[in-house]
């Protein structure tokens, strides 16, 4: 953390000059006379957004449902499913709008203004590790889908989520959770008023877990956040320190043929067994961020500045003995980086051709200095270096948008974003794979919002977006394993999307939205960190329908139903592997019915093609989660969370590829799965201090 101090001083000076704030600017407000707010856990009422698929999730909802892992808070974003295909210290697997987002590519995530996605990451492009998130500290989640918003650039084609932490807790608290698989978690937080409007807030978390695995996970996590905030709603600032570390042993995916056989090498073999008991890793993340906002007669200024230090040492084995029959196929990936960044925006009202308008201008800068490597390993010990590089990468985005109230019931939002990426790769093992690359893309945006008519709004959204490719793929000329020549890939890949939608509150207490969307990519070029090369797939098109509902029949009762259908294809007509066809989430939540609170959630991850010809398909999974809460006193609450209540045999992830077990004569093309956890319970006691 000492290395952060000089940069922090510079960032603080810049902040003082700019008046800062972290969040992406919200759309120009519309306050039609007949707007009706459905009082629930969402803030998605008619007149509050520029798209049917945009919204806000409040902290109340996050408390009402259980989350097996921190990253699952994103499952409150309608249509988004979060799973895990390895240990709980590794980034989650994400699915949205027909994308297997891997560990985050094409879904941009920020926490308190700091980006979580890691470009040119050692394991995968856009790697999004949310395990440092503390759910009890979340104030709200602003989400949006599609490339229609000028304020969001890289990784945001499928969607984006901005998570905001609280800067002042209502009361100090402590919580202890015990659960199956030797799950232990303690979290405590408090706020202190220091005078002169200053508020100091701190929260700390420790966690351990073995899980249901035959090889205990031995997860050990330490996490803390400290923030200082001052000022008022119209002019204020905050500074935050975050520190996180986790160590774990992973259970990677296993071949279906072993599960079906029920034995391996003469011994019983279950779906919770492992073929390599030394996989897993060690990761850490520390950061200092500064934010501020200022409103005056001319408008509003927001900006943020941050510096991060990040480390990952990850050991995986997905093919067992395919490439190296004697030692096994375990490989190690390392990523060590420092990240600097800043965002600033200015919003102001003005006239345009006699119409009321509001414009926003923004600038984003990010610079990563990373050392990333891929190695052959045995029992986490390096036996050979496949590729190691130093990367310096700068990403800049300049954007502007204007919202014009054309008539009392028609609003138009037009925007333009310019993104530029510049990279330098120094090959430490393969000099020929080093070099420089750069690219610039302009992305126009357009939204039309009509209404409300009878408490109903209609939306049309269109825009161009992008995701960056791993910098190593933009300069690589030689395959690091075979020595054969390879083609470089472009630094930026364009996407184009459109959406038509509607949101209505015509029925009292019921809020519904419908979105019909399409998203095209020029290419699904992806750097494969597991192999150290870049694989190119063709241009793609995805289209789908989302239907979301919030019904509040009584102040203490909420029903949610989110349904999504997707059709995903390459332009050649072939299927996109791991593109899920259907997802759904249905939940009922009861809040403060006397001393009781409860929720019951039904979660469905549908089938999808595992191969381009659709000859092998994934199996659907259906899980039910239950949460019960009982207030023992005004200051104490007891909570019971039950995951996979019906103890269904489901898989978190499924792939189809070739692997070879020790002793097998040749490679076998097979389904490889990572099982979902069986029924498990966690009991928590929360006490206000």
Model confidence at 47, in pLDDT bands (50, 70, 90)? confident
Structural domain boundaries of the chain? 4-688
Is residue 662 pLDDT above 70, yes or no?
yes
Model confidence at 31, in pLDDT bands (50, 70, 90)? very low
Return the H-helix or E-strand segment holding 632.
Answer: strand 621-633
**β-sheet with 107-111: strand ranges across:** 55-58, 138-145, 159-165, 107-111, 114-115
Model confidence at 103, in pLDDT bands (50, 70, 90)? confident
Distances, alpha carbon 42 to alpha carbons 148, 356, 475, 545, 608, in Å: 21, 28, 45, 21, 30
Whole-number pLDDT of residue 526: 54
Is residue 66 pLDDT above 90, yes or no?
no
**82 within 8 A of 103, measured Cβ to Cβ:** no
**Of 146-150, 167-171, 537-541, where does mean pLDDT reach its minimum?**
537-541
Whole-number pLDDT of residue 18: 33
User: Per-residue pLDDT tens for 231-253?
Assistant: 998 999 999 999 999 999 998 89
Is residue 343 pLDDT above 70, yes or no?
yes
Distances, alpha carbon 128 to alpha carbons 12, 40, 106, 420, in Å: 27, 29, 11, 21
Neighbours of 468 (CB within 10 A): 26
Model confidence at 62, in pLDDT bands (50, 70, 90)? confident
User: Per-residue pLDDT tens for 431-477?
Assistant: 999 999 999 999 999 999 999 998 999 999 999 999 999 999 999 99
User: Per-residue pLDDT tens for 372-389?
Assistant: 999 999 999 999 999 999
**86 within 8 A of 93, measured Cβ to Cβ:** no
What does 142-191 look like in DSSP terms, one character per residue? EEEESS--TT--TT-SSEEEEEEE-SS-SS-EEEEEEETTTEEEEEEEEE
**455 within 8 A of 504, measured Cβ to Cβ:** yes
d(C-alpha 91, C-alpha 332), whole Å: 16
Mean predicted confidence (pLDDT) in 351-370: 97
d(C-alpha 52, C-alpha 183), whole Å: 39
Taking Cα atoms as reference points, which of 154, 89, 150 lies closest to residue 118?
A: 154
CA dihedral sign of residues 153, 374, 429, 283:
positive
The runs of H, that is alpha helices, within 171-323 are: 256-261
User: Per-residue pLDDT tens for 288-319?
Assistant: 999 999 999 999 999 999 999 999 999 999 99
**641 within 8 A of 626, measured Cβ to Cβ:** yes
Number of helices and strands in the chain (H, E): 4, 37
Is residue 538 pLDDT above 80, yes or no?
yes
Task: Name the CATH architecture for the domain at 4-688.
Answer: Beta Barrel (2.40)
Neighbours of 675 (CB within 10 A): 21
């Amino acid at each position: 953390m000492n290395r952060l101090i000089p940069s922090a001083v510079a960032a603080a000076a810049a902040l003082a000059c700019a008046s800062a704030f972290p969040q992406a600017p919200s759309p120009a407000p519309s306050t039609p006379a007949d707007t009706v707010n459905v009082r629930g856990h969402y803030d998605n009422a008619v007149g509050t957004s520029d798209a049917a698929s945009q919204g806000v999730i409040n902290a109340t909802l996050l408390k009402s449902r259980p989350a097996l892992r921190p990253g699952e808070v994103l499952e409150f974003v309608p249509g988004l499913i979060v799973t895990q295909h390895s240990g709980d210290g590794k980034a989650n697997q994400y699915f949205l709008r027909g994308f297997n987002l891997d560990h985050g590519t094409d879904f941009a995530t920020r926490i308190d203004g700091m980006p979580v996605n890691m470009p040119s990451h050692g394991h995968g492009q856009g790697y999004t590790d949310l395990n440092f998130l503390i759910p009890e500290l979340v104030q709200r989640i602003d989400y949006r889908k599609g490339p229609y918003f000028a304020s969001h650039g890289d990784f945001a084609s499928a969607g984006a989520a901005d998570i905001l932490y609280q800067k002042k807790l209502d009361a100090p608290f402590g919580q202890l959770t015990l659960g199956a698989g030797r799950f232990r978690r303690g979290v405590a937080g408090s706020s202190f008023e220091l005078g002169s409007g200053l508020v100091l807030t701190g929260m700390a978390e420790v966690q351990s877990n073995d899980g249901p695995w035959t090889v205990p996970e031995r997860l050990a996590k330490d996490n803390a956040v400290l923030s200082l905030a001052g000022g008022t709603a119209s002019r204020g600032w905050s500074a935050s320190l975050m520190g996180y570390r986790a160590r774990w042993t992973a259970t990677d995916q296993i071949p279906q043929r072993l599960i079906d056989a029920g034995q391996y090498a003469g011994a019983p073999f279950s779906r919770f067994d492992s073929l390599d008991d030394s996989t897993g890793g060690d990761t850490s993340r520390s950061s200092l961020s500064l934010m501020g906002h200022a409103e005056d007669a001319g408008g509003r200024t927001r900006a943020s500045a941050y510096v991060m230090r990040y480390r990952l040492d990850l050991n995986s084995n997905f093919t067992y003995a395919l490439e190296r029959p004697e030692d096994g196929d375990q490989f190690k990936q390392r990523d060590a980086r420092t990240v600097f960044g800043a965002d600033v925006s200015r919003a102001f009202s003005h006239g345009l051709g006699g119409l009321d308008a509001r414009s926003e201008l923004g600038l984003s800068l990010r610079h990563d200095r990373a050392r990333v490597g891929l190695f052959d390993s045995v029992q986490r010990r390096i036996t050979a270096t496949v590729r190691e590089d130093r990367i310096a990468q700068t990403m800049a985005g300049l954007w502007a948008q204007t919202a014009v109230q054309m008539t009392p019931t028609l609003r138009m939002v037009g925007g333009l974003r310019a993104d530029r990426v510049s990279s330098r790769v120094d090959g430490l093992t393969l000099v020929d794979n080093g070099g420089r690359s750069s690219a610039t893309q302009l992305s126009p945006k357009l939204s039309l919002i009509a209404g409300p008519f009878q408490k109903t709004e209609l939306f049309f959204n269109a825009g161009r977006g992008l995701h960056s490719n791993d910098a190593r793929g933009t300069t690589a000329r030689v395959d690091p394993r075979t020595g054969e020549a390879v083609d470089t890939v472009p630094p930026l890949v364009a996407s184009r999307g459109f959406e038509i939608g509607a949101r209505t509150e015509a029925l009292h207490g019921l809020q519904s939205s419908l979105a019909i969307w399409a998203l095209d990519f020029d290419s699904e070029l992806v750097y494969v960190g597991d192999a150290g090369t870049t694989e190119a797939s063709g241009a793609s098109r995805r289209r789908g329908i989302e239907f979301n509902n919030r019904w509040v029949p009584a102040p203490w009762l909420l029903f949610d139903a989110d349904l999504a259908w997707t059709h995903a294809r390459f332009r050649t007509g072939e299927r996109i592997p791991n593109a899920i066809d259907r997802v759904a989430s249905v939940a009922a939540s009861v809040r403060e019915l006397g001393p009781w609170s409860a929720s019951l959630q039904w979660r469905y991850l549908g089938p999808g093609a595992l191969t381009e010809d659709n000859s092998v398909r994934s199996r659907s999974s259906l899980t039910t989660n239950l949460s019960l809460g009982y207030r023992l006193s005004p200051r104490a609450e007891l909570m019971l969370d039950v995951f996979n209540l019906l103890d269904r045999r489901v898989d978190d992830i499924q792939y189809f590829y070739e692997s070879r077990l020790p002793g097998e004569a040749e490679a076998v093309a097979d389904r490889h799965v990572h099982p979902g956890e069986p029924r498990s319970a966690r009991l928590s006691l929360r006490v206000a201090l």
